[in-house]
Amino acid sequence: MKKLEKFIIPESEDKSRLDRCLRRNLGEINQSLLEKSLRNKYILINGKKAKASDKIEKDQVITYDASLFLKRKKVFSTISKNKMCFYLDLYKKILIKENINWIILNKPNQIAVQGGTGQNKNIDELLRSISNDNQYKLVHRLDKDTSGILVIAKNLKMAKSFQDYFKNKRIIKLYLAIISPPPLKNKKYITSNIEKSHFSNVRKMITSDFKGKFAKTYMKTLVKNSKYALALLYPITGRTHQLRVHMNYVGCSIIGDKKYKLNENYVDNENFLKLHSYVIKFPNEDFIKAPLPEHFINFMKENKLDIDLEKIEKDFEKEFKYE
């Protein structure tokens, strides 16, 4: 005899897809098993048959077979006191701005957004360290090697709003990158298709003439010399590793990029990727800036990439608008 349990839809899940709500609240479940269980009425909404894509409403009652989720429920590992102290201290240092609905952090290089094999420290654990109810949600990603702006929603409703912003191109994200060699043109749109490489064991993307997804990047050179350039990059689309792939595609690789191209004609003891998520703009907010990391500033000074960024920032509102 199956053990049936009930789950009442909270307000935070109002208008969510049924399958996503189940995974967030009851635990992981294979999609094919989920759909089979729905067809066989092992999962019901208000006692009626439902589909995985159905939009649910607050106060509805989900009746489900508890054994479907038992083995796959997400279990968080305990964060040690030392690591907790590290995260709380880091949070104070990298917090840029927050309100009741969201947090904006200045993520350092070499800290992954999500945990996983070989990821000793990550933003997911940091969020668990500062949140008592684990409701904070990442609304986008940054590569481990990339520094800069990272947005976290404090509740599911705000997370959904950010999903809509991204979907409807209501987010403007601007990056700074040090590239080599300098581009011939000071302004350029870079377009290609980007797909996952089938010839690499690591997660690597490549450009393609026919396959993959369309990608478009705006590049503007801010200052340059004979070897390097400081470029402002605007990813108009949001493909995996788009900026790194596109810079390599046009022959102006980002300094410190070991995955796509290692520039061997420079000296940098720290060897960090010189790609920084610098500015973000979303509805009802002005442009928000993440200060450059020290290694980035030092490289600019050492290689005489002199520029007054504050003057450039004043032109953002005129130049960059929603698509």
Active site residues: 143
How far apart (Å, rounded) are the C-alpha atoms in residues 163 and 160? 5
CB 178 within 8 A of CB 255: yes
Sequence-ordered strand ranges (E) for the chain: 4-8, 43-45, 61-65, 95-98, 102-107, 137-138, 147-153, 172-180, 187-196, 205-208, 213-224, 229-235, 253-254, 275-281, 288-289
Residue 278 CA to residue 177 CA, distance in Å, equals 10
Say how far apart CA 44 and CA 39 lie, in whole Å. Answer: 10
Query: 140-169 as b/e, with b when 16 or more CB fall inside 10 Å?
Result: bebbbbbbbbbbbbbbbebbbbbeebeeee
